[in-house]
């Protein structure tokens, strides 16, 4: 089950469609959907988590905590709406597209994809693009 939580005044559009899309991504990657919580917040909220749990004193757009068991995906995905908005401007893409990219990025991490090396980051970007096309 996917749940959406809001620690800021942001409202998610088309949550049902996004739930169906994320479920499809999980299935296509040969995983089973367990409990995934998306928590939409602001920069301050996510920065505090980044410092407290990851010892990183930086702003970021997403932090995901993976509680998956075997092939069943469980986790908490924190997304800074402020950071996504700024990144969308920087990359010259619509806010919704960047938001969807970040949402699927967290799920792809749970499916085993990494992004620390250039090669891994390219593979991650290809997967993101593949699934964004499916969203329409």
Report pLDDT digits (tens) over 32-81: 999 999 999 999 999 999 998 888 898 899 999 999 999 999 999 999 99
pLDDT of residue 64: 94
Residue 77 in 3-state DSSP?
strand
pLDDT of residue 54: 87
Tell if the pTM clears 0.85, that is, is over it.
yes
How would DSSP label each residue in 3-19? EEEESSS---S-HHHHH
As a CATH number, domain 2-135 is: 3.40.390.30
Residue 132 in 3-state DSSP?
helix
pLDDT for residue 132 is more than 80: yes
Residue 61 in 3-state DSSP?
coil
Binding residues for Zn(2+), as ranges, are 105, 109, 115
Is 88 in contact with 67 (CB distance < 8 Å)? no
Binding residues, as ranges, are 105, 109, 115
Quickly list H helices, 3-117. Answer: 15-28, 43-54, 81-91, 95-110
Q: What's the mean per-residue pLDDT of the chain?
A: 95
């Amino acid at each position: 089950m996917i749940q959406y939580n809001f620690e800021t005044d942001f409202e998610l559009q088309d949550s049902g469609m996004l739930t169906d899309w994320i479920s499809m991504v999980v299935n296509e990657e040969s995983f089973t959907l367990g409990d995934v919580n998306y928590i939409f917040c602001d920069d301050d909220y996510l920065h505090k988590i980044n410092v407290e749990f990851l010892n990183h004193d930086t702003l970021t757009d997403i932090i995901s905590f993976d509680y998956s068991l075997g092939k069943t995906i469980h986790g908490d995905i924190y997304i800074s709406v402020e950071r996504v908005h700024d990144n969308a401007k920087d990359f010259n893409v619509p806010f919704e597209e960047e938001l969807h990219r970040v949402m699927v990025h967290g799920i792809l991490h749970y499916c085993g994809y990494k992004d620390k090396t250039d090669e891994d980051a390219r593979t991650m970007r290809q997967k993101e693009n593949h699934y964004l096309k499916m969203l329409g």
